[in-house]
Amino acid sequence: MMKNNLLIILLIFLLVGCDVVTNRYDTYAEAKNDQLFGRGWLPEFIPSSSFKIITSNNLDFNTSEGEFYFRPEDADIFISNLSPYMRRKTPFENYDKHIKKLESKGYKVYEYLEDSSVWLFFVKKKTGHVYYDFWLERENANNLVQPTPGRPRF
């Protein structure tokens, strides 16, 4: 009986499960060759010195999260493409706590907007390390922005 219950739970999980695709790239060139930027999962202006690029893309909710490193001397050029974070509404629960946790570790949060795409980049200039979150904003019938659901892992 227990095996049957386990099998049923496993089947339900497989049928309901989210399509999350995780990719790892040793270099910017590898990511570019795999069309990571062309598919819109990261903006192409991330530093060309980027390495250890990890992306986890939730295809059901059009969200993404990940991290990468780059040469610290490229930080100012990268940040020049971003804006200070404006404390916008996010699709993630308890996101303010997430932000405060990373800020307490020396990360500064920036945003990049393109059409309905939103990227938040948590940048630690001194080490050239970045965490990021991405989502698509949707408009409801009242023309209010309603982000797709998701949740950060960092």
Distance of CA 42 to the CA centre of its chain: 8
What pLDDT score was predicted for residue 137? 80
pLDDT in tens, 72-81: 999 999 999 9
Residues sharing a CB contact under 8 Å with residue 145, sequence separation 6 or more, in sequence order:
89, 137, 138, 139
In a domain, 116, yes or no: yes
Average pLDDT, integer, range 34-61: 92
pLDDT value, residue 94: 82
Q: What sign does the dihedral 62-151-66-119 (CA atoms) show?
A: positive
Indicate whether 10 belongs to any domain.
no
Residue 104: helix, strand or coil by DSSP?
Answer: helix
The Cα–Cα gap between 59 and 127 comes to 31
pLDDT confidence of residue 10? 45
Q: For residue 119, is it within any domain?
A: yes
pLDDT value at 58 more than 90: no
pTM reported for the whole predicted model: 0.79
Domain membership flag for residue 45: yes
What is the pLDDT at residue 8?
A: 52
Considering the domain boundaries, does residue 153 fall inside one? no
CB distance 138 to 147 below 8 Å: yes
Residue 146: pLDDT over 50: no
